[in-house]
Amino acid sequence: MNSIKFLYAAYIATWLIHGLYLGSLVRRYGRLRQQMKDLGKGK
Amino acid sequence: MKQAFPILAVLTAFFLVYAFYQALWVAPTDALQGDVYRIIYYHVPSAWTAFLLFFINFIASVQYLANAKPSTARAARWIVIAIGTVGFFASFVPQVRQQLPTGMYPSSVATTFLIITGLYFVIGKYFGGQDLGGFSAFILAVNTSGAMSPFMPRVMRRFFTKVFGAYGAADGQDLDVLAVTTAEVGVVFCTIVLVTGPIWARPVWGIWWAPGDIRLTSTLVLWLIYVSYLVLRRFSDSAQTQKLAAVLAVFGALDVPLVYFSIWFFRTQHPQPVIGGGGSMDPRMLHVLLISWMAFLSFAFLVCWSRYRLEKLRREVEEAEALESLMETSATFSAGKVPFSQGSK
Amino acid sequence: MRSFWSIALATLTKDIRLEWRSKDALNAMLFFSLLVVVIFVFSFDPLAEESRHIVGGLVWVAFLFAAVVALNQTWARELRNQVLDAYRVSPAPANALFLAKAVGNFILVSLLEALMAPLFVIFYNLRVLGPAWQLIPVALLGTWALVVNGTFFAAMSLRTRSRELMLPLLLFPVSIPAVLGMVAGTTNILTGENPAHFYIVLLLTYDVVFTTACLALFETVLQAE
């Protein structure tokens, strides 16, 4: 029954990797929005 | 179109949950492997998605390079049509049929070739930003001249313009954005394949990695190639980064079949532990596998869409910033001062 | 306008002459190759029974390191003296330059291999159990596989940060089938257990495919600034 742990590990790993990537996308969006605001202020 | 995104996101989430439920509870337990085999419902769809994304990247790269000149663009289109036609008919020829691995129907091979050609033209249309020439120019001329208007209802005219006209930025930028997007998202999915693969292999066959495992090793090489692609994009300071990256993608695509065959032959000389049990799959398992794949495909589509928008936005912001610093510089000059003399940003 | 081959030959002889006059780079590379062999000798026990099976891999990894060192300086001279810009505006075909550089690198790397191979034979007490003459096509085709892609990727890496790091980063993934062919072929010839024909054919295919690709696409890379 120890092998079931591998199943959990695989599923968790999958969503972890997806989550990390989506997180990086969100962070990049945030940075872009900040840059757009700076541009708008006419730095 | 932007309103569609949240709705699609919710739908995809439901789809993924449904696939999850199917994978864990509906699909039958495997006689040999027990419940661990359910990893394949994440492992295999991720692999198919990754390969599809990398393939789209390859097509976008080829088009990006070919569209530099109209002559090469036309030549590329004809070559793609030739490949599609020859491949389609060849898969039914008896000598070729014998070569196909067992379980692969000639009709599916033929359809794949048609899809390849279709994909090339669809991508060219929506991202290429270039007229398809000849026929479409004729249609466009007919539509705008109104010569056929008594015979062609307006709705049909708009249809033809939509089908044969072209979208996308004129200089092929959209193709490049598509290339970056599919490369990045493809690497993410490929990483998942390489992580879940050994996690599956260990409990089932007792080893994390088999050197002769042709699928996993080919996937590893593909992953390496595309990671190097992304590194090149990030580290390159050239104005032609996009062209260089496209060239690298072509090299990668040329490499993959060679990798496959080299490992295949290596395996025949060095007996490997029997992996990937043969025989066909329980149809219920196949059913769940397909559901899972569809769910992940829609997820991949949404992620690509987000990444695509992000990239387009990022480029616009970059251009705007460059323009602004240019104007600052000229303003400083006309004010009689030397720009950047006091440590600018 | 001079022909493709005369341009390539002229560039090649220029490179060889320049390199021969100041042998700094050459000497440094030769010494580096020697060091690599010695490190391997200390890392992988030559007396072990398995050594005959892994020597194929050791030899080619050593060759790979030496090749990367040689390839990294391919374009250095051109870059320093703005020769690349001159070449870009000249009507000379870009792949003539590429071919000259590739052949020059081939000669250089072959020289390094010719130094390292006898050392391996000595340190590891190698005896060839299979058809020894087959080692020649394997060596030639394998070296060309590394060199042709290496020269191309070296040009691609020119306008990147960490140029020296970029070259192996780009080269290694694409070279994997060739490396497999070289190593497996050499191992088969040394141990005599299996025929090496397929690997020679594999290397030949690899060379043909990628030489064509490099010649066709080098113009694009040269024009990048």
pLDDT at B278: 47
pLDDT at C183: 93
**Residue-number span of the structural domain to which B74 is assigned:** 6-23+40-130+167-320
Confirm if B12 and B302 have CB atoms less than 8 A apart.
yes
Count CA within 13 A, CB hemisphere, residue C9.
Answer: 5
The per-residue pLDDT for range C4-59, each reduced to its tens digit, is 888 889 888 988 888 887 777 788 888 888 898 899 888 887 776 677 778 889 89
CB distance from A27 to chain B under 8 Å? no
Assign 3-class secondary structure to C43-98.
HCCCCCCCHHHHHHHHHHHHHHHHHHHHHHCCCHHHHHCCHHHHHHHCCCCHHHHH
Name which of B67, B69, B242, B244 to mutate to probe chain C: the one with the most chain C Cβ atoms within 10 A of its Cβ.
B244
Nearest to B307 among A3, A25, A36 (CB): A25
Q: What is the pTM of this model?
A: 0.86
Cα–Cα dist C27/B95, whole Å = 56
Query: Do A and C have ≥3 inter-chain CB pairs under 8 A?
Result: no
Judging contacts by C-beta atoms under 8 Å, the chain B residues touching residue A14 are 42, 46, 192, 195-196
Nearest to B228 among C169, C205, C210 (CB): C169
Q: Which two tokens stand for residue C118?
A: 């006898």
Name which of B79, B240, B250, B258 to mutate to probe chain C: the one with the most chain C Cβ atoms within 10 A of its Cβ.
B258
Cα–Cα dist B181/B54, whole Å = 10
In a domain, B333, yes or no: no
Interface contact B195-A14, CB threshold 8 A = yes
In a domain, B177, yes or no: yes
In a domain, B88, yes or no: yes
Confirm if C105 and C150 have CB atoms less than 8 A apart.
yes
Nearest to B258 among C156, C205, C220 (CB): C205
The per-residue pLDDT for range C126-153, each reduced to its tens digit, is 888 888 888 999 999 999 999 999 999 9
- pLDDT tier at C123, thresholds 50, 70, 90: confident
In a domain, B149, yes or no: no
Cα–Cα dist B52/B296, whole Å = 12
Which residue of chain A has the CA closest to B193?
A14
Q: How far is CA B139 from CA B78, B147, B221, C218, in A?
A: 20, 11, 45, 38
Name which of B187, B248, B250 to mutate to probe chain C: the one with the most chain C Cβ atoms within 10 A of its Cβ.
B248
Nearest to C177 among B238, B241, B255 (CB): B255
CB distance from A15 to chain B under 8 Å? no
- pLDDT tier at C212, thresholds 50, 70, 90: very high
Q: Residue B30: beta bridge partners?
A: B34
pLDDT at C105: 92
Shortest Cα distance, chain C CAs vs residue B160, angstroms? 36
Confirm if B18 and B293 have CB atoms less than 8 A apart.
no
Which residue of chain C has the CA closest to B255?
C174
Number of B/C CB contacts below 8 angstroms equals: 92
CB distance from A14 to chain B under 8 Å? yes
Please give the tally of structural domains in chain B.
Answer: 1
Nearest to A25 among B191, B310, B345 (CB): B310
Q: What is the pLDDT along chain B (345 residues), one digit of tens a residue?
A: 567 888 888 889 998 988 888 888 877 877 777 788 888 899 999 999 999 999 999 999 999 998 887 788 888 888 888 888 888 888 888 777 777 666 677 787 888 888 888 888 888 888 876 555 555 555 555 555 555 545 555 555 555 555 555 555 556 788 999 999 999 999 999 999 999 999 988 888 888 888 778 888 899 999 999 999 999 999 887 778 899 999 999 999 999 989 988 888 887 777 665 555 444 567 788 888 999 999 999 999 999 999 999 999 999 888 888 888 888 888 877 777 776 655 444
Judging contacts by C-beta atoms under 8 Å, the chain A residues touching residue B310 are 25, 28-29, 32
The per-residue pLDDT for range C165-182, each reduced to its tens digit, is 999 999 999 999 999 999
Q: The dihedral of CA B226, B230, B231, B233: what is its sign?
A: positive
